[in-house]
Amino acid sequence: MAPASGMSRALRLGIVIAIGALVVVLVLAFRRDPHDIRTGTVGKPAAAFTVQKLDGSGALALDEARGKVTVVNFFASWCIPCKEENPALVRTYERYRSSDVVFLGVLYQDSRDSGLQYVRDNGVTWPTGSDDDGRVAFAYGVFGIPETYFIGADGVIAGRHIGPIDETTLVNAIDTLRAQAKK
Amino acid sequence: MTRSRAIIVIALVAVALALAWSARPRAETQTERVDRITSELRCVVCQGLSVKDSPSESARQMKEIVVQRVAEGRTDDQIRDEFRANYGDWVVLAPSLASWSGVVWLLPILAVLAGLAFAWRWTRERSVPLPEAPPAQLAALRERVAREESLDLPVDAS
């Protein structure tokens, strides 16, 4: 009888350990903020890009913002969450408009005409360009839009936000990067 | 050798030749290489689909990037590393053994080992010999069997 009870003890212990391991894995997985999924681009120099401006007035290059805190927002006219976050972007842009903070909009998987109509209808007055072949989104590791990247004055991607962003998050990120740039 | 045996031998040789022919080393075309690489990369906007299998626009653009990198002469590792650099290890469908996610490769092995250990202990338990009856009890039982056999009792057919 002793081996049988020993066996059942071992089995019970194994089941408890397996369930415990499963719980730990699930807790670790769900603890992660889905707005901040880690990818390879955060903490690395922002990839240089040049895209055609939506209004057809020439090229829009990241290099133009070199040495400045830069907010790069990926959006599209068909993206409902992009419309949801747009008022926050507009307010934040107006707040920093006269400062050295640069806002750039990158149209993602959308036609230029639709994108141009979107920026006109939604009060987007910062420079916007079209990522026609998706290379800019690939270089930044964009999963889906809206996505917003924060680039420090040193040219390194300091952070990114997946999904609709709010004004508080935008202001906090920009102010943090501006404070770092002044040091 | 009978005729039927000869037919079996010829069939086996034909199958072996066909297998050898299909497994022969040959140069991979660029299209095959693109298909293989994109089948190993995760479509970032899909649920568990590879870039090759996904009909999404993101996957199509990623496939174009792979086509371009292959045309440029990049190695498989260089292409995978570029995707990893932008999207993390997550973008590779089969996790690398060298990363934390490579632990998933160990799970089936651990499961098999646990199953073997369980089966070994279970069979060991079942093979434990029963304790032998005391000699006096055995003698009494033998005597009873002998007595009942000598009585030649009728078999109960109910």
B-chain CB neighbours of A144 within 8 Å are: 44-45, 58
ipTM here: 0.76
Angle between helices B57-71 and B76-87 (to 10 degrees): 140
Q: Which of A134, A140, A141 sits opposite B61 (nearest CB)?
A: A134
Burial A120-159 (b: 16+ CB within 10 A, else e): eebebebbbbbbbebbbbbbbbbbbbbbbbbbbbebebbb
Q: Which of B61, B65, B125 sits opposite A3 (nearest CB)?
A: B125
Could A3 and B128 be called an inter-chain contact, meaning their C-beta atoms sit closer than 8 Å? yes
- Interface contact A7, partner B, CB < 8 A: yes
Average pLDDT over residues A22-47: 75
**Best of B44, B49, B63, B126 to disrupt the A interface by mutation (most A CBs within 10 Å)?**
B44
Q: What is the mean pLDDT of chain A?
A: 90
**Best of A138, A140, A142, A149 to disrupt the B interface by mutation (most B CBs within 10 Å)?**
A138
**pLDDT the model gives residue A1:** 43
Confidence of residue A35 (pLDDT cuts 50, 70, 90): low
**pLDDT the model gives residue A11:** 75
The per-residue pLDDT for range A81-102, each reduced to its tens digit, is 999 999 999 999 999 999 999 9
Full-model pTM:
0.70
